[in-house]
Amino acid sequence: MIIHSLTFYMFAAVAVASGVMVISARNPVHSVLFLILAFFNSAALFVLMGAEFLAMVLVVVYVGAVAVLFLFVVMMLDINFREMRHGALQYLPIGGLVGIVLLAELVLVFGSWAVAPEAADVATIPTPDPTVVTNTHALGSVLYTRFVYLFQAAGMILLVAMVGAIVLTLRQRDGLRRQSIAEQNARRKSDTIEVVKVPSRGGV
């Protein structure tokens, strides 16, 4: 039990420190690397909680796709972040207001457990025996039975967001050479190849 507690505090401390470094590092590449470290420590915390499926999804999806994509975008665009920081103080009141709202929500959430302790029993789902049902099986059973409509609605929202992002970024530009598969397949040999008879020792 002591080993579990020590590992929990170790991974939690590294995750919190990585999160702080994400927003405080001056180099954006270093921020992305600290974000990847925070994801790995969060996955380790999920493993300690017995949620190995969520840990695997966190590593595969967020570390293997999202964070690496952030890293490639930051390195390829070569954005001058010093110029972007100029004038950032004008957004400080809005950021402070959002922070106050989030703090109030956290206080209400944690206060509700103290005011109404029975809310925890109502909100939680009975945890199955891990020796009988695995974590992945239990999560799939809950998602595709009790929350199947919400799960499908979340998928539709993501699909609409993906289509909207493609539509917003798709622009027709003039002067660009585009590939036409139909024209390439319909062309004849006489249109692309010209046989020239060159006399001997005469040159082209």
Model pLDDT for residues 113-164, shown as the tens digit of each residue: 555 566 556 555 555 565 667 777 878 888 888 888 998 999 999 899 889 8
- CATH of the domain spanning 1-78, picked from 3.30.2350.10, 3.40.630.30, 1.20.120.1200, 1.10.1280.10: 1.20.120.1200
Q: What is the pLDDT of residues 68-122, one digit of tens each?
A: 777 777 777 666 666 666 666 777 888 889 889 988 888 887 776 555 566 556 5
> Which pLDDT score is estimated for 184?
81
In whole angstroms, how far apart are CA 109 and each of 104, 115, 117, 118, 184? Answer: 9, 10, 12, 14, 63
CA 114 – CA 53 distance, rounded (Å): 31
d(Cα 200, Cα 204) in Å, to the nearest integer?
10
pLDDT in tens, 48-66: 887 888 888 888 888 887 7
